[in-house]
Amino acid sequence: MPAMTYIARLLGLVLLSVMVALFFASFGSGSFTAHMVIHMGIVAVAAPLIAYGFRDTRFDPLPGMLRVSPMLASFIELVVVWFWHFPTFRTSADASLILSLVEQASFLVAGVLLWHACFRPKDGRLAGTAGLLFTSLHMTLLGVLLALAPRPLYGDGDITCFGIPLSAAADQQIGGVVMLMVGALAYLLGGILLLAGVLRDGETLRERPRW
């Protein structure tokens, strides 16, 4: 469907540009919620649109030699996401523009790698379903840990999130909820859609007459 891939490509690039603009606008505020909005916008919305829109084109971000299995790609994303949310590394990234850019770039690469692998799994769409559902699980776990942490993990005092003053505890809790509402649900929905496609194809095969 060329029209759908073109629309996905355009939306993905526009959204990525918006996330980059938000990144520079919010850098230095120390807001975990702002960080999470940008993070989720990249990995859960822009990345699948880019992976879908550019696959099998000359601009395909992942040529054949770089393709991996969905579960391996999900594990890579787990490592990248959890690494940057350890308090030490999160604090270091917040203090350095270059390091923070590296962080967001790693989120984009890991996200495109995962969605690309799940859209074109070597082992079939069931493998893609498993990869997305596993990602949804570890995103849910991290989101819950951040939202329910008994104390702020990334500093203290008041911060400003897109012009709204928040305490560090409230800022972290809202960021955790953003991860749950956007990240975990996006991967869960993607897994369900892939599984629905597998079931629909299986039903079609059973109904096809044999000659």
- pLDDT-derived band at 206, boundaries 50, 70, 90: very low
What gap in Å lies between CA 69 and CA 155, rounded to an integer?
Answer: 37
pLDDT tens, position by position, 101-123: 999 999 999 999 999 888 876 55
pTM of the model: 0.86
Average pLDDT over residues 186-198: 85
Mean pLDDT of the chain: 85
The pLDDT value recorded for residue 208 is 45
What gap in Å lies between CA 211 and CA 105, rounded to an integer?
Answer: 53
- Which whole-number Å values give the CA distances from 164 to 4, 91, 95, 160, in the listed order? 37, 21, 20, 5
The pLDDT value recorded for residue 211 is 42
Name residues whose C-beta falls within 8 Å of residue 200's C-beta, 6 or more positions apart in sequence.
none
pLDDT tens, position by position, 158-167: 888 878 888 8
Portion of the chain with pLDDT greater than 90, in percent: 50
The pLDDT value recorded for residue 158 is 81
Average pLDDT over residues 32-53: 93
Higher pLDDT, 24 or 126: 24
Average pLDDT over residues 20-31: 90
Pairing assessment for the beta strands 158-161 and 164-167 based on DSSP bridges: antiparallel
| Alpha carbon of residue 143 to chain centroid | 13
